[in-house]
Chain A
Amino acid sequence: MHNNASRVAMTISILLLMIVGASYLHMTNGVFDMSVIDVLKTLLRIEPNPKFDLVIFEFRLPRIVIAALVGVGLGMAGVVLQGITRNGLADPGILGINAGAGAAVVIFMFFFQLRVVTADMSSWLSILMMPIFGFVGGTMAAALIFSFAMKNGHLDMQRLILTGIAINSGFGALSLFLSLKMNAQDYESAAVWMAGSIYNANWIFVVSMLPWLLLLGFYVYRKSYLLDYFQLEEDSITSLGIALEKEKIKLLLASVGLVSACVSVSGSIGFIGLMAPHIAKQLVGIHHRYVMPVSALIGACLLVLADFIGKTVFAPAELAVGIVVSIIGIPYFLYLLVKSKA
């Protein structure tokens, strides 16, 4: 046990260093290159330079913070979903929760004419509303999927994945349909948002998602020990005196909340929720008390790096971070499929 704990501490420290490293790369590189000293001086408020202030505080820092927070949220949600479905291929994207939350947010944009690109302080109220809309959509998607996948009061895993795919494309089509009905400017912002991007990040987004992430993240972490028990088959879980369906639904709602908060600020970013838990399990074993925080940090690290890649590889053009993640994620997903067959 002791050995394991020190290994977890080590892994967490390395991941934190990697996140700092990725943030450093992200902060110094871009259309406007800055030196380390410039960045440090700006952050520590030594001889502030308004030009640097603008780049760091208004553009780069919120973007890094959003990337990290979304990564944390998706990483944790992925652990929960894989844990309660006992299926290593479960991911908020594949299960249609992303798409459900996404559709709800597009509906929101459609009716409230919210221009994400030009969001300013006057629209802060509507931005704060977005996670709630996302949550309603995500919950609806989750409820639909689970009601179809329920059989004799038990979750049928094959049906879960199949319905998830169907719900996913259904909500995707709804989002597309609505976005086509929008006027050109709204459409552009919706399209950019749907691809999974964070380059229009600002502090209001951080404020809108942070309370959800803290609250639900803490809840999910406290409950992570239950996910260990959920790896047994249902009869044994019941025999141990765990209110199985009740706990599953609570955890599911919490992860839907996490995903919705993420989707409402970043659009649909797939594969993080799939990859981060798998990598975490490779690093620290199967105990969810350890997997949970490690997966959260891996999610953050991956997303900050992916956003850095998206922003620099084709500079000055930017690649949406969701697309970068998919490019890395698809081969990894296929690898997992092949490996699980063997």
Chain B
Amino acid sequence: MQTAFRLENLSSGYEHVRVFEGLNLTIEEGKVTTIIGPNGCGKSTLLKTIGRILKKHQGTVYLQEQNMQNLSTKEIAKKLAILSQTPIAPGQLKVEELIAYGRYPHRNNVNRLTKKDEEMIEWALTVTNTKDYRNRALAQLSGGQRQRVWLAMALAQETSILLLDEPTTYLDMAHQLEVLDIVKNLNEQHCCTVVMVLHDINHAARYSDQLIAMRQGVVMETGTPQEILCADVMRKVFNISARIMEDPATKTPVCYGYDVLKEDNQ
């Protein structure tokens, strides 16, 4: 099994804050891996660091067994795409134009789209089911539509790895599943490696092959949803006593209720 990412002794954070230190981790290719953990545990920081949006402090990130430091940002952009948590674009920009931005790393002539570019844009529109409003301005879209358009832009980048930072935030329940279904389809039909951060552990369990549970900058556990969604790990990671059962429809574990543990348990 090839690895999408291998982190060696990785430390990262912001200017004066070290969020995590000495992290060693492997993320496999061809799978959906989701990072979960309480607020401020460093899950977004980890995702941003392996996506080179955030500069690492120390250590090495290997992207498909190549040291990321030796790759130019444009070469990296051909291998991985990141959808950030709060993407911004001018409201007058048209859906199709935004998606075409995703072709940037592949374009030689910046003023004209090639046939291949147009094919990829068409594919991204189809996969994300955004064809109907391709000519609309971004300001005219609903939150769920807009999130799918952003996803389409990342897809147009034609990468084998997709990093998603809380792709379901601010969406209602139906739209959350819509986005996650697209992600799942990409993984299953198009062999896309997906690494994402999710807040909802039930979604994480349902849509992931692997979970990474973090707390205070430390990876507490990694494993399959069945291994991670258990009372023991939930207590260690989220400080909750969770009641877990198997969803008979999806055959994945769900947390159907929980209580916060008292601080003195720590």
Contact = CB atoms under 8 A, between A and B. Distances in A.
Contact of A241 (B14, B87, B88, B104): B104
Interface in B34-52: 48, 51-52
The 7 closest A-B pairs by CB, nearest first: A241-B77, A235-B84, A241-B74, A241-B105, A239-B82, A233-B88, A240-B104
A303 B236 CA distance: 69
B88 A239 contact: no
Contacts of B82: 235-236, 238-239
B93 A239 contact: no
B89 A239 contact: no
Interface of A: 152-153, 225, 228-229, 231-236, 238-243, 285-286, 289
B157 interface: yes
Contacts of A289: 111
B101 A229 contact: yes
B78 interface: yes
A232 B105 contact: no
Contacts of A285: 92
B105 A240 contact: yes
Contact of B73 (A153, A228, A229, A241): A241
Interface in B137-155: 153-154
Contacts of A152: 14-15
B15 A153 contact: yes
A238 B53 contact: yes
B265 to A, nearest CB: 36
Contacts of B83: 239
B81 interface: yes
B55 interface: yes
B78 A241 contact: yes
B153 to A, nearest CB: 8
Contacts of B77: 239-241
A328 B36 CA distance: 56
A236 B89 CA distance: 10
Interface in B68-114: 72-78, 81-84, 86-90, 92-93, 101-102, 104-105, 110-111
Contacts of A232: 87-89, 101
A5 to B, nearest CB: 11
Given A240-B101, A241-B105, A231 B90 contact: yes
Given A232-B87, A285-B92, A239 B53 contact: yes
Interface residues of B, number: 34
Contacts of A240: 77, 101-102, 104-105, 157
B120 to A, nearest CB: 14
21 contacts: A152-B15, A228-B101, A229-B104, A233-B84, A233-B86, A233-B88, A235-B53, A235-B84, A236-B82, A236-B87, A238-B52, A239-B53, A240-B105, A241-B74, A241-B77, A241-B104, A241-B105, A242-B104, A243-B74, A285-B92, A286-B93
A90 B83 CA distance: 28
A318 to B, nearest CB: 41
Nearest to B163: A239
Contacts of B110: 225
Contacts of A241: 72-78, 104-105
Given A153-B15, A225-B110, A233-B84, A238 B92 contact: no
Contacts of B86: 233
A269 B15 CA distance: 39
Contacts of A238: 52-53, 73, 82
Contacts of B88: 231-233, 236
B87 A286 contact: no
A177 B92 CA distance: 47
Contacts of B53: 234-235, 238-239
A258 to B, nearest CB: 21
A3 B61 CA distance: 47
A191 B78 CA distance: 55
A30 to B, nearest CB: 43
Contacts of B52: 238
Given A235-B48, A239-B82, A225 B111 contact: yes
A215 to B, nearest CB: 20
Given A232-B101, A233-B88, A242 B15 contact: no
Contacts of B89: 231-232, 236
B154 A239 contact: yes
A134 B12 CA distance: 41
